[in-house]
């Protein structure tokens, strides 16, 4: 059976929560090995804040790149059907022929760094829905001043009733914006994304694009 996707436990653990959600989305619960969860916990929450406090700047791009390589090698060595690729800077785009959209169309997921409430934040992209993207945001509480009505006016829809798939739908141009607005990925110099696939269920990129109803 597939697990429902999780919400983060603190202000800082969006990175490990989203990586675990990627596994929960792609694989059955019985397929997820303890070693995978242990490795996520070991290498995330590695960034120090300005006061020198460990983990209070969340998870670094370096850790995400390491884990993408680890997942890829784990899949090869253990003959487990996971594949991962790390993208950065101008490789991280949202448009019909981008690597991220192609990944979603093939049944994969993308862990991206975006902004929420002005701070860096990791979310899981799960579905390509025409010119919108379905995603799961592990932050359960909206930033102060951003009601559901305000988010919808800004092109962001809250989704209920799909706990194994998504809780937001966001326009692609919002995600791709070079701003620090909610769910925008910001300037190219800081962009990062990890693409993950279940190779057993991976489909061709030419499959029919889904539309949310």
First-to-last C-alpha distance (Å) of the chain: 25
**Token pair 């991206």: residue:** 112
- Among candidate residues 120, 176, 101, 181, the one with its CA nearest the CA of residue 145: 181
In this prediction the pTM is 0.91
Taking each continuous run of H as one helix and of E as one strand, the counts in the chain are 6, 7
Residue 90 tokens read as 């101008």
Q: CA-CA distance, 92 to 102, in Å (whole number)?
A: 12
Give residue 48's pLDDT: 83
Give residue 209's pLDDT: 45
Q: Quick one: which H or E segment has residue 194?
A: strand 192-198
Q: CA-CA distance, 68 to 195, in Å (whole number)?
A: 8
Q: CA-CA distance, 195 to 176, in Å (whole number)?
A: 16
**Token pair 């619960």: residue:** 29
Protein fold of 14-198: Cathepsin B; Chain A (3.90.70)
Within a 13 Å sphere around the CA of 60, how many CA atoms are in the beta-carbon half?
Answer: 11
pLDDT, mean of each 10-residue run, the chain (213 residues): 91 97 97 97 91 84 98 97 97 95 97 94 97 95 64 82 96 96 96 97 62 39
Q: CA-CA distance, 161 to 159, in Å (whole number)?
A: 7
Domain ranges (residues) in the chain: 14-198
Give residue 161's pLDDT: 94
Q: CA-CA distance, 182 to 145, in Å (whole number)?
A: 12
Give residue 30's pLDDT: 95
- Among candidate residues 93, 113, 96, 114, the one with its CA nearest the CA of residue 105: 96
Give residue 211's pLDDT: 43
Contact, 196 vs 82, CB < 8 A? yes
Cβ count within 10 A of residue 167:
23
């Amino acid at each position: 059976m597939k697990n429902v996707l999780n919400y983060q436990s603190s202000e800082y653990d969006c990175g490990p929560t989203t990586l675990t959600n990627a596994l929960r989305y792609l694989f059955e619960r019985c397929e997820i090995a303890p070693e995978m969860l242990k490795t996520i916990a070991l290498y995330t929450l590695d960034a120090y804040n300005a006061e020198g406090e460990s983990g209070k700047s969340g998870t670094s791009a370096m850790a995400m790149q390491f884990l993408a390589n680890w997942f890829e090698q784990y899949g090869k060595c253990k003959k487990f059907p996971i594949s991962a690729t790390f993208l950065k800077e101008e490789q991280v785009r949202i448009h019909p022929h981008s690597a991220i959209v192609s990944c979603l169309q093939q049944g994969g997921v993308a862990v991206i760094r975006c902004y929420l409430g002005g701070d860096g934040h990791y979310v899981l992209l799960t579905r390509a829905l025409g010119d919108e993207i379905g995603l799961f945001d592990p932050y359960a509480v909206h930033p102060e001043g951003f009601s559901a009505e305000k988010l919808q006016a800004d092109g962001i829809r809250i989704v209920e009733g799909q706990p194994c798939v998504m809780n937001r739908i966001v326009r692609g141009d919002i995600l791709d914006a070079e701003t620090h607005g909610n769910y925008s990925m910001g300037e190219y110099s800081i962009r990062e994304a990890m693409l993950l696939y279940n190779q057993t269920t991976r489909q061709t990129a030419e499959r029919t694009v889904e539309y949310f109803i």
